[in-house]
Amino acid sequence: MGKSYCREAISIDIHTLSVQIPAVEWPYNAATPPLYQTSAYTYHSVDEVDRLLSGDGRGYTYSRGGNPTCDALAYVLAELERAEAAVIAASGMGAILAGILALSPTAAPVIVAREIYGGTPGLVRQVLQPLGYTLYWLNTHNEAEAKATLQAHPGVLVVESISNPLGRVSPLDTLIAMAHQMGSHVLVDNTFATPYHAQPLRFGADLVAHSVTKYIGGHSDLIAGALVGSKELTQRAAQILNVMGITPDPFAAWLALRGARTLALRMERASQNALSLSTALSGHFALDRVYYPGLSSHPDHEVAQRLLERGYGAIVGLRLHGGRRAVERFVQSLKLVPFLPSLGDVMTTVSQPVVASHRELTEAEQRAVEIDDSVVRVSVGIENVQDLIEDFQQALESANSR
Ligand code: PLP
């Protein structure tokens, strides 16, 4: 059975916590967690294997059910989210699926915040709906509407701490309390905020999911996911991940462990850059609008100020004048910044939600959350921000001049 590491939450600053890997003794006093690139573990005793597979005692038998490198990553993420426990999945999608199934093993409504990564409603539609789960959309920014939907359809609420790609921030504290009151469990996808900006368990979330692929990894070189929360729920999720075979590769976990050590430093720099870039581009003649929750013009600026810590994340949304053709010219005119249908790298990248992250939504669903072919998502990295500002300005001018 999959194991999930856990430890009492401690209160040192996240900059210290992410660098000083907490007190774990690695074999031979290794300074960093070893990579256990093994699928299985050898024994000389039938009884010992039998005991371990019965969940009695600590040890590993087969890496689908548990691996020391993956468990080391779980331990670190539980520390960063100040959680009791965590478990690692093969991908962010694997984590979200296991999270929903752990919260509701039998068919139930899955209530999804309107502004969410398109893969999440895609998962509900393609995998869970045929099993009897039902998809409901939730406008988390209208209290009366949210209350009515949650009252009518108690089940599992899935919401992001900072939404993809327009930086919407739901009032997680009041929303989660309301969902619980109405009989729902709550899964918060904290991929965009990372534990640097938000720790949603503090607002009462039952489980927190991550696409570790993004900021925790930080270098576009791995695919992995994670769930953090109580020992009971993460162990339930670990069982699901094991039997479904959506457990991670140890090398991906090892890379993520390395990435996690600079998470705070990267997020600090990237979120400062995002604020500077969004401020510099606001009012640009080629842009209809700049979306960043750190700007006072953003509809959720006040909620973000109340709920997010140390800044507002590193995703900026741009709405260009001129639609898809202008976006194409803009992307081709960027000299430093590549198009990358992912995010969270140390380098700044751009993507277009309608062709990538949100392509699984219908046009009407995209329109309801202001996403169309004029919108570009910028994942701001840790470069010198002046270089970024100059590159974006020249590309916007080119996009508008032809
Ligand atoms: N959650 C968010 C917010 C995402 O942006 C993504 C992927 O882009 C996922 C989950 C899925 O993660 P993964 O690609 O690691 O499966």
In the sheet that holds 349-351, the strands lie side by side as: 287-291, 315-320, 375-379, 349-351
Rounded to the nearest integer, the mean pLDDT of the chain is 93
Residues 133 and 25 in one domain: yes
CATH code assigned at 224: 3.40.640.10
Residues 121 and 227 in one domain: yes
**Ligand 1 atom at minimal distance to the Cα of residue 116:** 3
Atom 13, ligand 1: residue with shortest CA distance: 92
What letters, b where the CB count within 10 A reaches 16 and e where it falls short, cover 106-141? eebbbbbbbbbbbbbbebbeeebeeeebebebbbbb
Residues 113 and 102 in one domain: yes
For residues 295 and 279, the answer to whether their CB atoms sit within 8 Å is yes
| Of 117, 222, 246, 377, best ligand 1 pocket probe by most atoms within 8 Å of the beta carbon | 117
pLDDT score at 248:
95
pLDDT at residue 236 tops 90: yes
**Least confident segment among 37-41, 137-141, 368-372:** 368-372
Q: Which of 359, 64, 75 is nearest to 240 (CA)?
A: 64
Residue 384 belongs to a domain: yes
pLDDT at residue 325 tops 90: yes
Residue 332 belongs to a domain: yes
Residues 241 and 372 in one domain: no
In order of 139, 169, 273, 306, 325, the CA distances from 293 in angstroms are 18, 8, 13, 11, 27
Residue 3 belongs to a domain: no
Confidence of residue 2 (pLDDT cuts 50, 70, 90): very low
Q: Where are the beta strands (DSSP E) in 48-174?
A: 85-89, 109-113, 134-138, 156-160
Determine the average pLDDT of the residues in 210-225. Answer: 98
Q: What is the DSSP pairing of strand 134-138 with strand 109-113?
A: parallel
Confidence of residue 204 (pLDDT cuts 50, 70, 90): very high
* Residue-wise pLDDT tens digits, 260-305: 999 999 999 999 999 999 999 999 999 999 999 999 999 999 999 9
Last residue of a domain, one of 195, 228, 260: 260
Confidence of residue 20 (pLDDT cuts 50, 70, 90): confident
Residues 242 and 271 in one domain: no
pLDDT score at 402:
54
213 CA from centroid of ligand 1 (Å)? 7
Q: Which of 332, 345, 352, 342 is nearest to 380 (CA)?
A: 345
Q: Which of 184, 175, 216, 179 is nearest to 78 (CA)?
A: 216
81 CA from centroid of ligand 1 (Å)? 18
Last residue of a domain, one of 210, 232, 260: 260
Last residue of a domain, one of 214, 237, 260: 260
Residues 75 and 103 in one domain: yes
Confidence of residue 23 (pLDDT cuts 50, 70, 90): low
Determine the average pLDDT of the residues in 128-152. Answer: 97
Residues 119 and 246 in one domain: yes
122 CA from centroid of ligand 1 (Å)? 12
pLDDT at residue 4 tops 50: no
Residue 2 belongs to a domain: no
124 CA from centroid of ligand 1 (Å)? 14
Determine the average pLDDT of the residues in 54-61. Answer: 87
Residues 267 and 378 in one domain: yes
Confidence of residue 354 (pLDDT cuts 50, 70, 90): confident
Residue 331 belongs to a domain: yes
CATH code assigned at 364: 3.90.1150.10
pLDDT score at 24:
67
Residues 255 and 271 in one domain: no
pLDDT score at 158:
98
Measured distance CA(294)–CA(316) in Å, rounded:
10
Spell out the residues 6+ positions from residue 239 whose beta carbon is closer than 8 angstroms to its own: 1, 2
Confidence of residue 22 (pLDDT cuts 50, 70, 90): low
DSSP letter assigned to residue 126? I
Determine the average pLDDT of the residues in 4-16. Answer: 65
91 CA from centroid of ligand 1 (Å)? 8
Phi, psi values for residue 173, rounded to 5°: -60, -50
Residues 187 and 316 in one domain: no
Residues 150 and 124 in one domain: yes
Decide: helix, strand or coil at residue 57. coil
Q: Which of 56, 117, 128 is nearest to 91 (CA)?
A: 117
| Of 169, 192, 214, 241, best ligand 1 pocket probe by most atoms within 8 Å of the beta carbon | 214
pLDDT at residue 356 tops 80: no
pLDDT score at 362:
83
Phi, psi values for residue 127, rounded to 5°: -110, -45
pLDDT at residue 323 tops 60: yes
Residue 82 belongs to a domain: yes
| Of 88, 161, 194, 211, best ligand 1 pocket probe by most atoms within 8 Å of the beta carbon | 211
pLDDT score at 367:
82
Q: Which residue has the higher pLDDT, 373 or 255?
A: 255
Provide residues with CB under 6 Å of ligand 1: 91-93, 117, 119, 160, 164, 189, 191-192, 211, 213, 223, 225, 357
Indicate the number of domains in the chain: 2
Q: Which domain holds residue 187?
A: 14-260
176 CA from centroid of ligand 1 (Å)? 22
pLDDT at residue 3 tops 60: no
pLDDT at residue 187 tops 70: yes
Planar angle of CA 105, 107, 130, nearest 5 degrees: 120
198 CA from centroid of ligand 1 (Å)? 17
Planar angle of CA 331, 337, 196, nearest 5 degrees: 120
Measured distance CA(294)–CA(297) in Å, rounded:
9
Amino acid at 338: P
26 CA from centroid of ligand 1 (Å)? 31
pLDDT score at 363:
84
Confidence of residue 9 (pLDDT cuts 50, 70, 90): very low
Residue 245 belongs to a domain: yes
* Residue-wise pLDDT tens digits, 67-125: 999 999 999 999 999 999 999 999 999 999 999 999 999 999 999 999 999 999 999 99
Residue 96 belongs to a domain: yes
Residues 107 and 181 in one domain: yes
